[in-house]
Amino acid sequence: MKKTEPFKLFGIFGYPLGHTLSPYMHEAGFRAIGLDANYIVLELDPDSFRTAMRDLKKCVLSGFNVTVPYKETVSRYLDKVSTEARAIGAVNTVYKKGGKWYGTNTDMEGFLLSLARDAKFSPRGKRAVVLGAGGASRAVVYGLSKEDAAAVTIVDVFPEKAGRIAEAIAGIFPKTDCRAFAAGDPGIRDRIEEADLVINATPLGLKSEDPLAVSQEWIPKAGRRPKLFMDLIYNPERTRFLKIAGRRGHKTLNGLGMLFYQGVRAFECWSGGKAPLSAMKTALLEALQGKGKS
């Protein structure tokens, strides 16, 4: 008789989490491979998150994702963190193995796969501007530098945060010219003008009333050399940032591909097998459509 696998529970920690589509994707994946499991949303404020992490040994979850604002702090509660996640300075996927909790970062791989497959873009020898210096930005900057980007400019309202990322990357990938700028610095305009890729890695754009992460006047017309403007936000599908860049003749890409590919890798960490790509992608697209109508 075939042994029945016990029920498993997975989830995502973050604050806020009203926008997440991860449950739709992962639950479709569980159904497709016949895994008796659910994926729940765990929207916890910082105090509640710290309490949950301190009690991780008693946690009934078999694995979980971590998103804003906990990617950079969750590692202190884990038994082991992958070398790459440690270097990036952020963990977004946690899984249990032999009673111990392991952290890794699937954001970086998801980001690079989306660039390659969805935008046909290679970072090698290119110049990029990354707006934001949070956990997602760390994965993006690491990925670009790993793929031999010529230069990466990191912009944040807290320039010391951007500076720490630039300093860490310089120690790992010295061939990439990694610089930090304070948001609003006029020099950013020149960096965008010279860039091949401009990425919004801030949460600005989740709400319609949000300001742009960079001055509208600093987004140039494409002319003969269109750039790729990417927004890691996937809901709404086209943020104001992408709309303006598109109207000025640039190529645009949202964060849905990155969400999908990082989710695929997280699913494989939890299940130990190949992810059912078609089922997961279909569920993700249907969920996004539904959210757009609500």
Active-site pick, 71, 126, 227, 281: 71
- Shortest CA distance to 203 belongs to which of 231, 161, 166? 231
Please give the Cα distance from 294 to 291 (Å, whole number): 5
Q: What is the DSSP string of 234-285?
A: -SSSS-HHHHHHHHTT-EEE-SHHHHHHHHHHHHHHHHSS---HHHHHHHHH
Which residue reads 């061939």 in tokens? 175
Beta bridge partners of 229: 198, 252
Amino acid (1-letter code) at residue 175: K
Burial class (CB in 10 A: 0-12, 13-18, 19+), 33: middle
> In terms of DSSP bridges, do strands 8-14 and 37-43 run parallel, antiparallel, or are they unpaired?
parallel
274 flagged as catalytic: no
> In terms of DSSP bridges, do strands 100-104 and 93-97 run parallel, antiparallel, or are they unpaired?
antiparallel
- Shortest CA distance to 76 belongs to which of 56, 95, 105, 96? 56
- CA dihedral sign, ordered 263, 273, 88, 145: negative
Which residue reads 């604002």 in tokens? 69
User: How many other CB atoms are found less than 10 A from the CB of residue 154?
Assistant: 27
- Shortest CA distance to 286 belongs to which of 260, 258, 262? 260
Q: Could you report how far apart the first and last alpha carbons of the chain are, in Å?
A: 46
Q: Which residues are catalytic?
A: 71
